[in-house]
Amino acid sequence: KLIHVSIIGKPILMENNQLAVYGIYRDITQQKKSEEKIARDLKEKEILLKEIHHRVKNNMQIISSLLNMQIRYIKNEADKEIF
């Protein structure tokens, strides 16, 4: 089983002048899994946002085209200026 750990170490000098390391190992597997899920969710959100933007842009273009088609039927020049 693979686990992710955070390691913090500090060198210490023992009474007999030997060097030792005081260390703490902490299991951060759940934190890593949470970070990976957040990254996946963010990517999915960005994809959905791009799709929504694309659809809105297409719908606005359709509306613009329909309005441009209808402007031909307007006789009053002042009304045409509104478009």
Confidence of residue 74 (pLDDT cuts 50, 70, 90): confident
CA 7 from chain center: how many Å? 29
Structural domain boundaries in the chain: 5-82
pLDDT for 38-66, tens place per residue? 999 999 999 999 999 999 999 999 999 99
State how far the Cα of 19 lies from the Cα of 28, in Å rounded to an integer.
28
Q: Where are the beta strands (DSSP E) in the chain?
A: 5-13, 19-27
Q: What is the CA radius of gyration of the chain?
A: 32
State how far the Cα of 67 lies from the Cα of 79, in Å rounded to an integer.
13
The residue among 81 and 23 whose pLDDT is bigger is 23
Give the pLDDT score at 83.
66
State pTM to two decimals.
Answer: 0.62
Which residues contact residue 65 at a Cβ distance below 8 angstroms, ignoring those fewer than 6 apart? none
